[in-house]
Chains A and B, each alone.
Chain A
Amino acid sequence: MGFWNKLLKIDRRWIYTIIWLVVMIPLLFPFKIKPMAMPPVTRLFNYIDTMPEDKALVISVDYTPDIQPELHPMCIALLHHAFATKRKVGLLTLQVMGLGLGEAAIRQVTEEFNAHATTHEDSIINGEDYVYWGWTTPIITILLGMGERITNVYPVDYYGHRTESLPIMKHLKNYDDIGIVVSIAGSSIPISWVNFANTQFGVPIGCGATAVSAADYYPYLNSGQFTGMMAGMKGAAEYEQLVADKFDELGIKWELRRKGTEAMSSQTAAHIAIMIFIIIGNIAYFVTRRRKK
């Protein structure tokens, strides 16, 4: 058996080992990469950055723990952006498995901000600056119900408080008070937001998608049904970069943990390795086919 034949029949565990090493080594010894924000990410960032101050950002935490590495950094970056620019935030999840992830994200970011806050105005307060509505079902009832009155859909928040008693809800009654909904999902939930909130109520929709779904969502960007989109971990890293630049612009000195950006050297190395595998695999295929003839 020749070299190319052996290569075509290589034990796949060797491939796994190489990929493990290629991903692991840059995590231990990273090389610096500054992500360049692509137009879909920039559009989303700019929209949130410039939307009227009385409008809230709603983040729909529609992802589950299995795809957390790709999507959780997006949620964190959005919260950093919103709180740095003093936006009111509403969080909800349409996936029961996303409940804990939404809570973890809001807890992490509020702790970061509050650790550096010196006044009440600087602090991020539950019920005043943000509300976590939690989860309920079914999706259609939620998406249509929020167009009438959010407190009817979510009578109590995640922590068990009556939503009508929360100060933030005085100015957050229905879709009219929402500047944009960003659905971060690994499923087709962002399309449900488009179908109901955007088509019926005209609410702008942003999307944070897993890379697998991203190709399917570009038509919605092209049609304007999505205001902007973050695609996969790279999209998260791009948004993190824009937020870091915003922090510099606002004079916020403390350092952000940027998990998406930290992963980019591993991602780059793995992509190069896979491209090499594809090229070698194709050469081996054509060489062995010619020999068979």
Chain B
Amino acid sequence: MSADPWTWIAAILTLAIFSFLYKENPFYRFAEHLFVGVANGYAITFYWHRVLVPSLINPVSHGQKLWLIAIAIIGALYFTRFIPKVSWLVRIPIAVVLGYFSGAYIPRAIDAQILQQLRATIVTRSMFANWQSGLWAVIIALGVIATITYFFFSAKRKGILKPVSRIGIIFIMVGFGASFGYTVMARISLLIGRLQFLLGDWLGLIH
């Protein structure tokens, strides 16, 4: 059994969280609130020491990059949210952030997530270098077409649209099945991780 008090604290908090599986109780609520508080405190500390101090406070206090003061004022306008009379000023930093991130993100996202993904669904002769890759390429192309057809809501599902959208729903269900299977694996993994800690690091029953 561990002699480290921090291991004991972690183990007790783990058990407090697990106690929710029995029913809602004060131990669970205490651990939950403690986690939220510690996580926020940790994040704020690092934002202060790793971002604000080296990137803003240090250079400005040494008389360098004074234009950062204007940026800091724009950023500080987020806090006008708390003053109803001037709360409209919050739109300024939101507009700046939205503009910057949209400009930086949208062109690259179109390339990476639409054009390159579309390219990957095009069946070419080289994909038939062996029968397996050729078969998968055809299945992927069919799956994409059928799934998009299923989400084509501006026309009645009759004629060719009906069987193709039926095939589309099969692909969607297979996708859901894969996601569900992976989700089960993920949740079990998290339980295993905690039990490895409780049985190993805390109780010393596994090595």
Residues of A within 8 A of B (CB): 13, 16, 19-20, 23-24, 27-28, 66-70, 96-97, 99, 134-137, 140, 144, 155-156, 191, 194-196, 198-200, 210-212, 214-216, 219, 222-225, 231-234, 259, 262-263, 266-267, 270-271, 274
Contact = CB atoms under 8 A, between A and B. Distances in A.
B184 A271 contact: yes
B194 A69 contact: yes
Contacts of B21: 13, 16
23 contacts: A13-B22, A27-B206, A28-B206, A69-B192, A96-B46, A140-B101, A156-B54, A191-B113, A195-B105, A195-B108, A195-B112, A212-B182, A212-B186, A215-B178, A223-B116, A224-B120, A225-B116, A234-B185, A266-B188, A266-B195, A270-B191, A271-B185, A274-B184
Contacts, number: 129
B179 A215 contact: yes
Given A211-B186, A271-B184, 13 more contacts: A13-B22, A20-B191, A69-B196, A96-B50, A99-B46, A144-B104, A195-B112, A196-B108, A211-B183, A215-B175, A223-B120, A232-B186, A233-B189
B156 interface: no
B156 to A, nearest CB: 30
Closest CB pairs A-B (n = 4): A69-B193, A223-B120, A211-B186, A233-B189
* Chain B interface, >50% SS class: helix
A97 B50 CA distance: 13
Nearest to A192: B105
B189 A70 contact: yes
Contacts of B194: 69
B117 A70 contact: no
Contacts of B199: 24, 27-28
Interface string B13-41: 00000000110000000000000000100
B120 A267 contact: no
B125 interface: no
Given A24-B199, A99-B46, A215-B175, A223 B119 contact: yes
Nearest to A140: B104
A266 B42 CA distance: 33
Contacts of B129: none
B189 A263 contact: yes
B192 A263 contact: yes
* Chain A interface, >50% SS class: helix
B62 to A, nearest CB: 14
B190 interface: yes
Contacts of B111: 199
Interface string B84-121: 00000000000000000100110011011100110110
Nearest to A144: B104
B47 interface: yes
Given A13-B22, A135-B50, A233-B185, A70 B206 contact: no
Contacts of B119: 223
Nearest to B183: A212
A139 B4 CA distance: 36
Interface in B167-182: 175, 178-179, 182
Nearest to A275: B184
Contacts of B184: 271, 274
Chain B CB within 10 A, most for which of A68, A156, A191, A211: A211
B108 A199 contact: yes
Contacts of A216: 179
Chain A CB within 10 A, most for which of B117, B140, B189, B206: B189
